Structure 1
Amino acid sequence: MHKLKPELLEGAPDAELVTRAIARDEAAVRALIQRYNRRLYRVARSVVSDDGEAEDVLQEAYLKAFAALGSFRAESSLATWLTRIVLNEAFQRLRRRIDVPFSEVDRDGGQTLMADVIPFPASSRTAIDPERAMAQSEICRLVEKAIDALPCEFRAVLVARVVEGMSVEETAAAFDLLPETVKTRLHRARKMLKDALAEHLGPHFSDAFPFDGKRCERITDAVASRLGF
């Protein structure tokens, strides 16, 4: 298969990139990683609540995804398929951290044991990462702090729906929830945030947890290297 430069594949359909990636086209692999890096990073971070650990989750999830890419049958979108792999990796790490399976979160949006025991550590990288410091305003830092303080099941749905802009149906498929449960959890998450944030901060949600520039390139290079390119 003729290999193209990564920039020439930027607008290529997922199906074409998948076919090329299965054939070990490095440009296609990099294009797929860069296309979904921000969404998958935000989803991972919504579970593990730590910048560095979210990047680790992302790398491991990408390796598993590319190893299984030949089994992708497009029964769901590639974005949903990748999101589920990232969530599985993130929840595995969370279970190892707190020894409480995610399945114990009830499906009606109620509070559970998980919400009480999840630690919410401040990332040690936040204060020393100059790129992040330059990218984030004080408002976005307040938004991130407020989101981090939410119980996991509400935080994850909020990030998927509000921060990343996933639809109710896509979020439900990714988290294996009923659409009604997604709506309930989002409603409760927003209500919790009202105590910490004024309503006029809403438009700034889309800028929370940036993942581009050097950070995006670092993950892309690391995964490509581990895949043997």
Structure 2
Amino acid sequence: MLNTQSLSSDQIPDHSPDPFLVSRAALGDASAFTEIMRRHNRLLFRTARSILKNDTEAEDALQEAYLKAWRALKGFRSESALSTWLVRIVVNESLGRLRRKTAAVIPLDSAMNAIDADIQRSLSDNPEQHPEYAVMQTQMRQLLEARIDLLPEAFRTVFMLRAVEEMSVEQISQALDIPEATVRTRFFRARSLLREGLASQMDIALSDTFAFDGARCDRIVAGVLERANAEEFLNPKTE
């Protein structure tokens, strides 16, 4: 049980450094720990989500990790960044949940030799037979088609004939009445432009991966504070 003291939220200056927030939160200041949570929520949710592969489970793990971190704040010595320390706690909590969930996991070698048909099927099935794979392939094809359409016409035609239709450089040269060196140059340039375009789209998409909106942030903060109050975490009874 924390030895807490009541401190109002207006005593937490904007842009307070982490050490200041840690010292206040360690004394039971809910507003200081709320600020810590809001600063690190997205990083820590994505960390938990990467391990548990489920939004709801990641939120639950994050709330539990926050409570453990709050209890342990007095022991935080700032040898590493607060974010690093919190990530470690979230990782441990998430891995612990994963281990409990998969306690009966069968080693790969044993599973491949097991009699259980479902186990063998899950390991040996062709991924192309799964509906999710077909959807993924469709989305990838649509993305590639959209990027190919953006290529300059001269590059686009060479790319289609060479990469998609698999015509030889000599055949394309004859069909388009251009030197073979030009075919090679345009094909190389087309591939470079495609890679650059796809990489740019991937960078943009990565920033939105496992989106962390305001509602989720508020829900996690509220959940931690509610549990802390319910457990007399913030305001323990005094004799």
TM-score normalised according to structure 2 size = 0.52
Quote the offset at 1:3 in angstroms. Answer: 3.4
Residue 212 of structure 1: how far off its partner (Å) = 2.9
Runs (5+) with no aligned partner, structure 2:
106-121, 124-138, 141-196, 235-239
Cα distance change on mapping 1:73 and 1:51 into 2, 3 Å: same
Q: Which residue number in structure 1 is paired with residue 134 of structure 2?
A: none
Instruction: Deviation per CA, 1:3-39: give whole Å up to 9, x if none.
Output: 3536954411000001110111111011011110000
Separation in 2 of the partners of 1:63 and 1:223? 7
Determine which structure has the larger helix proportion and give its number. Answer: 2
**1: CA distance between counterparts of 2:65 and 2:199?**
35
**Retained in 2: the 8 A contact 1:10–1:31?**
no
- SS of 2:80 mapped into structure 1: coil
C-alpha contact 1:29 1:224 (8 A) present in aligned 2? no
Alignment match, 2:221: 220
CA 1:92–1:100: 2 relative to 1, 3 Å: farther
**Per-residue deviation at 1:98?**
2.0
Q: For the Cα contact (< 8 Å) 2:26–2:73, is it kept in 1?
A: yes
8 Å CA contact retained: 2:12, 2:32: no
Q: 1:217 to 1:201 in 2, by over 3 A?
A: same
Q: Are the equivalent residues in 2 in contact too, given 1:45–1:54 (CA < 8 A)?
A: yes
Displacement of 1:213: 1.0
Give the 3-state SS of the residue equivalent to 1:227 in structure 2.
helix
> Which residue of the other structure, out of 26, 48, 55, is the alignment partner of 2:52?
48
Which residue identity is paired with 2:61? Answer: V
Alignment partner, residue 78 of structure 1 = 82
**Aligned 1:155-166 pairs, distance under 5 A:** none
The CA RMSD over aligned residues, in Å, is 2.8
Aligned AA (1:85): I
- Paired with 1:201 and 1:46, the residues of 2 have a C-alpha distance of 21
1:215 is matched by which residue type in structure 2? R
Counterpart of 1:30, as a letter, is: T
The correspondence for 1:24, drawn from 21, 25, 28, is: 28
2:6–2:28: 8 Å Cα contact kept in structure 1? no
Q: Which amino acid aligns with 1:44?
A: A
Inter-CA distance 79–213: structure 2 relative to 1 (3 Å threshold): same
Counterpart-to-counterpart distance in 2, 1:213 and 1:225: 18
Q: Deviations over 1:150-208 (max 9, x none)?
A: xxxxxxxxxxxxxxxxxxxxxxxxxxxxxxxxxxxxxxxxxxxxxxx943322221111
**CA distance in 1: counterparts of 2:220 and 2:77, whole angstroms:** 26
Distance in 2, matches of 1:198 and 1:21, equals 44
The answer for the alignment partner of 2:160 in structure 1 is none
Note the residue ranges of structure 1 that are not aligned, 5 or more in a row.
Answer: 102-115, 118-141, 144-196
Cα 1:46–1:65 change in 2 (3 A) is same
Q: Give the Cα separation in 1 of the matches to 2:11 and 2:27.
A: 18
Q: C-alpha distance in 1, partners of 2:218/2:33?
A: 13
